[in-house]
Structure 1
Amino acid sequence: MSVASPIMIGVFVQFTVLITDSAFLNRVGSIDFNASGNAGMLYVTLFMLATGISNGAQVLIARRDGEKHFTEAGDLFRQTFFLLAITGVIFTVLLLLVNVLFLPPIVNDPSTLIKMQEFLSVRSYGFIVAIPTLAFQSFYSGIAKTRMIMYYTLITAIGNVLLDYGMIFGNFGFEPMGLKGAALATVLSEILALVFVILYTINDKQAKTYLLIRPFHIQWQRIREIMILSWPLMLQGAISTGTWTIFFFFIEQMGPHDLEISQIIRMFYLIALIPVLGIGSATRTFVSHLIAEGKTNEVIPTVRKIVILNLIASFLFTFSNIFFPALVIPFISENNAILGDAAYTLQVVTGAMFLLAVTSPLLNLISGAGDSKTAFRIEAISIGIYLFGAWLLAVQYPQPITIVWCLEYVYFGMMLFACLYYIQKGNWKNIKI
């Protein structure tokens, strides 16, 4: 928990920002709320590609750290930062092009389209600062010194909430900017976070141990190492989040009522993901360290304990969804017309979050062992079936929104079965990276 807790706090803070954004924008209008949700999913889909690079680097850094090759771990950090900085610029240009060229044909409602384009015209620039920051996250997670992650996410959150309140509604001397204000507030808070992590790292004793601050030279062999391990994780993260993006575009065709319910469910899903993502990141570090130290026999018992911890944490983060959903939903949306349907759907879907709590550590065991290609294949096959089901139930033969969301059980159930089979039969213990 000493490794996972700061990451969990960091994830909690980041998701608090998203939920605060949504709660503020819901008070501006339901169109702004729905538009920010769908546009945000496009942003996050590309961001998850970059997160795959970060996760791959984390596994490599953890392995070199476990082998006591500290200078190599520092080299990996510097090359990761360079790679992510270039990626941030490329993704900014790409999302701006998507915003202009590809959104109009796929968004049915003209009002939602205008708002989505307004949001992304500003939010896209966040990639330039947010993606390089991931290099610091991969380094500190890899060496199991995660307190910095908690610090920078707190700074991001506090800055974002204050700027949101000022820029969305016109407080603190700002002009009211609504949806565009929410996007600008997030970008400015991400700039603040990047400045903090750079200053923190320069003054951290780890900079000397790992020789982080020294003249930079591109090392193509290091970049190749990172990308060989990272590309399946990039695709895994992108298709996972991209699937949700497609899922929400399917639901948009069902109408604004079902879309608003789904945006609310998404907010509570993010809360449930707090322990899952924090503990998942720690799992990759633990597994990579144990294998590097020759303690492969300790991996399964360690992951078993992590699964139990994840289930307990998930219950603490979701019990309100089960027992009194109608009391917590108004914190996100005050639309009484959807309260009943949203509460019932939330109760039904919450069970799938416990399946995820079991599946996530197992999938991260496979990635942490260095077999990112198998982890990608497991997720890709599960997602293909999930998307086909979503198309059938939301577009081709429309069903009630609760039935559509039950596909989460199918998705996580298939991944759980595949992970258990591979961990029992696969060669993950002997992979060299």
Structure 2
Amino acid sequence: MLKTGYLSILKVAFPLMVGNFVQSIVLITDMAFLARLDSVSFDAAGNAGLLYVTFYMIAAGFGDSMQITKARFIGRNEVSVIPRFFQTGVLSLLLLALVFYLILSQVMPGLLLDYSYSSAIAEAQGEFLGIRSFALFFSLSSLALMSFLMATGKTQIVFVSSILMSTVNIILDYGLIFGELGLPKMGLEGAALASVLAEVTVFIFLLFYFLLRKWIREYNLFKNFHFDLHALKTLFSIGWPLMLQGCITLGTWTVFFSWIEQMGGHNLEISQNIRSIYFLAFVPIFGFAATTKTYISQFIGADRIGEIPLVQRRIQLLVTVTLLIFFHGAILYPDFLISMINPNEVVLGDSVYIIQQVAPAIFVFGLTSVYFNTVAGSGNTMASLAIEAISTGVYLSSAYLFIYILQWDIVGIWYVEYIYFATLGIVSLVYLRFFNWTKTGRIA
């Protein structure tokens, strides 16, 4: 069982944070490489990448249900049922990968050409997705493996796999985008291919780890591998709200950036700079989000409800401190960070101003995300879906008002971040205060 001490919490969260940090560095490096290629590639990769991540986050919702379910069974000491949930989850994610691949590679390019303001950016997005979408088969398989590791609190290997993927991605990005290291010069398509090959490398690494580690073999995860309908019903009953939630969360940001694209390439380039810097803040926030879900689910399973408020406070303190470490540059030296990503001085001034103005909202998000992930970790995924739907509904309505009705400039539009993060926190707190969430999230 997990312990409530700061060091115990950090032991679970730190590998996830470092893994997220390395992945954020990869994203920043990708954008920096492409910014030095041309602005069309820079903008196309940013928007196409959001589309890919949106579909990935839908699957991640199902992966979260695998994590929550297995953590609950571990808390109850009912580990014998874990293999059939794991095996059913793996097969389900592979089916999702096939469906999402067909949508992104065959359907989405045509839709982008019909909708986008810039045909050049739309065509480039289609070319990027045609290659990048193939990675789904490997990234979703890795997601299934990592859900087990996070449920057990053994997150160190997640960190190692992140380091491996990032290293491979950066090296291949440099080689395939610019034609260095004896590799062909492929430009934007080279960035997509580098990501695919990095995902393949990580999946192979994780698979061998699972097959060779004795403590994992003792769970019999791969014995009599089969699909179990009851396990699917349980996973889906918990996971479908999380899947829809992931679609809403990233889909909302995708819509927001598509509206920005309608305002012209200059505003889109500024917003892509802000998005890239944001991923530094997501390092501790996402790391502690996964940690919160594991703690809450295990503690409810072990009937340690009274210790949950203590865990919440300690995670909030830790996420605030680590945000100061990872995100302080957005406040103190944003011009340096942004110029590393995009050397275009035309967009530097507005990018610096916006990131300094919205940086405090990120700290609000760090605190409110603990409450939101408490709801998800308790198994009340319908409630977490409702909270996300309300928050993103307010967010999109505000963004539409700012962009199309009031016609604010790009600086004013980005204040919408305060509205989203505050709404998420308020609605989560209302639910935790007035609903019996420790009883309604039971997993059978």
TM-score, with length taken from structure 1:
0.98
2:433 is the counterpart of 1:421: no
SS in 1 for 2:176: helix
2:14 maps to what in 1? 5
Q: Distance in 1 between matches of 2:255 and 2:167?
A: 31
Q: Distance in 1 between matches of 2:30 and 2:337?
A: 17
Q: Deviations over 1:117-158 (max 9, x none)?
A: 111111111111111110011100001111111111111111
2:335 is the counterpart of 1:329: no
2:345 is the counterpart of 1:304: no
Q: Distance in 2 between matches of 1:236 and 1:418?
A: 15
Unpaired stretches in structure 1, ≥5 consecutive residues: none
SS in 2 for 1:28: coil
2:356 is the counterpart of 1:347: yes
2:431 is the counterpart of 1:411: no
- The percentage of counterpart residues that share the same residue type is 36
1:266 maps to what in 2? 275
1:51 to 27, 42, 60: 60
2:208 is the counterpart of 1:204: no
Answer yes or no: is the 8 Å Cα contact 2:109–2:125 preserved in 1.
no
RMSD over aligned Cα atoms: 1.0
1:148 maps to what in 2? 157
Q: Distance in 2 between matches of 1:236 and 1:213?
A: 30
For 1:120-139, list aligned pairs within 5 A.
120-139=129-148
2:76 maps to what in 1? 67
Which residue identity does 2:170 align to in structure 1?
A: V
> How far apart are 1:208 and its partner, in Å?
2.7
2:177 is the counterpart of 1:187: no
Q: Distance in 2 between matches of 1:7 and 1:389?
A: 33
Q: Deviations over 1:49-87 (max 9, x none)?
A: 000000011000000011111121232222111111111
> How far apart are 1:348 and its partner, in Å?
0.5
Q: Distance in 2 between matches of 1:238 and 1:313?
A: 27
Which residue identity does 2:177 align to in structure 1?
A: I
For 1:167-246, list aligned pairs within 5 A.
167-246=176-255
1:283 to 278, 292, 296: 292
> How far apart are 1:327 and its partner, in Å?
1.9
> How far apart are 1:395 and its partner, in Å?
2.8
SS in 2 for 1:102: helix
Q: Distance in 1 between matches of 2:107 and 2:367?
A: 36
Q: Deviations over 1:188-213 (max 9, x none)?
A: 11111111100000011232321112
Which residue identity does 1:34 align to in structure 2?
A: D
Which residue identity does 2:304 align to in structure 1?
A: K
Which residue identity does 1:136 align to in structure 2?
A: L
Which residue identity does 2:426 align to in structure 1?
A: F
Which residue identity does 1:379 align to in structure 2?
A: E
Say how many residue pairs are matched.
433
1:380 to 378, 385, 389: 389
Answer yes or no: is the 8 Å Cα contact 2:84–2:227 preserved in 1.
no
Q: Deviations over 1:341-369 (max 9, x none)?
A: 11000100111101110111111101111
Which residue identity does 1:400 align to in structure 2?
A: D
Unpaired stretches in structure 2, ≥5 consecutive residues: 1-9
For 1:386-401, list aligned pairs within 5 A.
386-401=395-410
1:32 maps to what in 2? 41
Answer yes or no: is the 8 Å Cα contact 1:254–1:395 preserved in 2.
no
> How far apart are 1:101 and its partner, in Å?
2.7
2:115 is the counterpart of 1:106: yes
2:31 maps to what in 1? 22
Q: Distance in 2 between matches of 1:396 and 1:333?
A: 30
Which residue identity does 1:11 align to in structure 2?
A: N
Between 1:202-211 and 1:85-94, the stretch displaced more is: 202-211
For 1:67-106, list aligned pairs within 5 A.
67-106=76-115
SS in 1 for 2:130: helix
2:258 maps to what in 1? 249
TM-score, with length taken from structure 2:
0.96
Q: Distance in 1 between matches of 2:98 and 2:215?
A: 28
